Structure formats: structure tokens, C-alpha cells
Amino acid sequence: MTSASKRNRGTRPSAPVQGPSADISASMRDEIEERIRRFSEANTRYRTPVPGLSVARVTAPVPPTIHIDRPCMCMCIRGQRRVSVGETIFFHDENQLVLTAIDRPTVFAIPHASSQKPYTALRIDLDLEIARQMMAHIDVNECNVAPTASGLTAAVTPELLDCVLRLTRLIERPSEIAVLADLIHREILYRLLSGPAGNSLRQIARLGSHGQRVSKVVAWLREHFRGPLRIDQLAKMAGMGVSTLHRHFHELTDMSPIQYQKRLRLHEARRLMLEESYEVGTAALDVGYESSTQFIREYRRLFGDAPLRNIKALRTTGLTSAAL
């Protein structure tokens, strides 16, 4: 799945927080984990009744698989997953959140989940239009920090964990969802926008910014990934020069446009084989590959295994859509 040239970040788990706040955070995590357990045992889906909130409880290892992350915040409640975004590889553990500000193909694996030690996580979708409205009321020194694909990870604060706990409580309090869910989502956005992890989010949300223009290119690629890619056409769409587009696209996705298109193709091919039982060659042609040999080579490079073996391994986990 990886090569020596890829950057490795955060390969060691984050240092746990010490002191009284650690006890409070542990108590909140225990409650969140229990609510996710009860929901997962009663439901086969990831989406909860709370708008924008998805949860997962995984009790077996998950081999490398790909997911297109839309603007969202992901948090591990218990366990750890291995994440690859473009050229960056890191371990996402209980002390970090992962913030995604732009649609981004992400490869992940969950190597150590078991029924005794399940991997438990949640994802909260982020509304960029609301973020844009809130930015006018947040005083942040945005010029000192460059936008990066990273907005990738940041420490989980007790304040943010408290917001997440209150949101997960609504899973079992359906009568309160209509009144409280939107308020808690706004508080979560505020915590993210006003913290160091929010820089990428602010760059994307700000109208007219380079990030917002790159997001238009990303949206176009999502719709047209099967066809040929012309960089000059994308640069014109973004109102940038070719080199400027390359630079800002890489800053926000950790990939070049061509790498981004390739991951979209491999993501769709994997979905077709896993969920619609396409043959390898048929899936390759459907997503835009002219050579099955090239497709298999690139699939193996990304996922660490040949397509048929990877799909078989995914089916044994019962995974037909991405865990968090």
C-alpha cells in the first residue's frame, strides 16, 4: 500500500492527556462508546437518526480500503486506524481528530479490531455554508498559518468532546433532535473554526480564496473522473495558472490532480467489484482504464493486494461501505 517515498506522519500514538481532565475525558468517551455500542447492535447502518452523525463499531480487522471523505470531522473513541491521504501516512488514534475540509480520497485500514477490543469511531459532517456565516464572528489570525492538507489532525479538547457527547446522546432522545442537533452542530463548527485545526476549513469556506477555487476543480473531477484530464482546462476553471493550481491543489489534498483522479477511479472500481460484483476487467474499463494490467498494478500499489484478494478480504469483514 505504501512506498518508501511516501511521508509518514504520526506513526506513534499521540501522548495521552494526564491529570483531572484526562479522567473527565475518559468518562465522556466511556459514555459515547456505550451509546455507539447500543446503536450498532440494533442497526446495520452507519448513519444515525441525528442529521450529519455517523458511527461505527468494528469487531474484526479491516484491510486497506478507500473512502471519499466529504467535509467532516472524524474521531476515534476507542482504537486506532491507519490512514493514507495522498503521500501522507499516519495513525489516527483516540487523542486526535481528523478534519477534512475538502472532498478527499482517503485509504484506511483497521488492523487490530476484535470483539474484545472493538474499534469505535464517529463522523460528523460539516456544513461549509454555516461555517462561512460563522467566520464573520470569529477573530482568528489566519495569516500566520499556511493552508495544508493536513488540517489533517489536531488534539481532541475536552470542550469538543463534550459537544460530541451531547450530540451522541440525541441518538436515544429523538424528540430533542429537531431542537438541539443544529445548535450542537454549530457549537462544533465554532470549536473547529476557532482552533488550530480550523485553518483548512476557513480556507475552503472563504469565498474567492484559493481553497474555495480549488474546491470547484475537485467538484468537477468528482463528476468527470472517467474521462481524460487536461490540466490547462482545470487551471482555467479555477482562474489560476497551471503551476499555481498544482501548488494549491496539493496543499489542500496532498495530491496532484492526476493522482486525485486515479484515486477516484480506483475507489469507484472497488465499489463496483464489491457491491455490484463486476469482474476486474469490466470495472477497470468502466472507470476509464484502457489497460487491465495497469489497473491491477495501480490497485495493488494503493491497497497492498490484487483486486480479487482485496475484495474477498473486505467481504469477509461484511464491509460494504466505509467504516470511519
Show the domain range for 111.
7-204
**Within this chain, do residues 196 and 226 fall inside the same structural domain, yes or no?**
no
Least confident of 111-115, 145-149, 170-174: 145-149
**Within this chain, do residues 80 and 124 fall inside the same structural domain, yes or no?**
yes
First to last CA, the chain: 19
**Within this chain, do residues 70 and 195 fall inside the same structural domain, yes or no?**
yes
CB 52 within 8 A of CB 124: yes
For residue 115, the tally of other CB atoms under 10 A from its CB is 7
Query: Could you tell me the CATH number of the domain that includes residue 262?
Result: 1.10.10.60
Is 324 contained in some domain? no
Please say which residue of 141, 173, 204 terminates a domain.
Answer: 204
Is 1 contained in some domain? no
pLDDT at 19 over 70: no
Which has the higher per-residue pLDDT, 196 or 214?
214
For residue 88, the tally of other CB atoms under 10 A from its CB is 19
**Within this chain, do residues 135 and 224 fall inside the same structural domain, yes or no?**
no
pTM: 0.82
Any idea what the Cα angle at residue 113 is, between residues 109 and 119, rounded to 5°? 85
pLDDT at 216 over 50: yes
**Within this chain, do residues 199 and 239 fall inside the same structural domain, yes or no?**
no
What does the pLDDT look like over 157-209, one tens digit per residue? Answer: 999 999 999 999 999 999 999 999 999 999 999 999 887 677 778 877 776 67
Please say which residue of 204, 232, 250 terminates a domain.
Answer: 204
Mean pLDDT, to the nearest integer, of 27-41?
96
**Within this chain, do residues 85 and 188 fall inside the same structural domain, yes or no?**
yes
Is 112 contained in some domain? yes
**Within this chain, do residues 195 and 212 fall inside the same structural domain, yes or no?**
no
**Within this chain, do residues 199 and 305 fall inside the same structural domain, yes or no?**
no
Q: What confidence category does residue 145 fall into, taking pLDDT thresholds of 50, 70 and 90?
A: very low
pLDDT at 143 over 50: no
Is 228 contained in some domain? yes
Please say which residue of 204, 232, 253 terminates a domain.
Answer: 204
% the chain with pLDDT above 90: 61
What does the pLDDT look like over 239-290, one tens digit per residue? Answer: 999 999 999 999 888 899 999 999 999 999 999 999 999 999 999 999 999 9
Is 2 contained in some domain? no
| Strand pairing category for 88-92 and 7-8 | parallel
**Within this chain, do residues 14 and 137 fall inside the same structural domain, yes or no?**
yes
The total domain count for the chain is 2
**Within this chain, do residues 123 and 178 fall inside the same structural domain, yes or no?**
yes
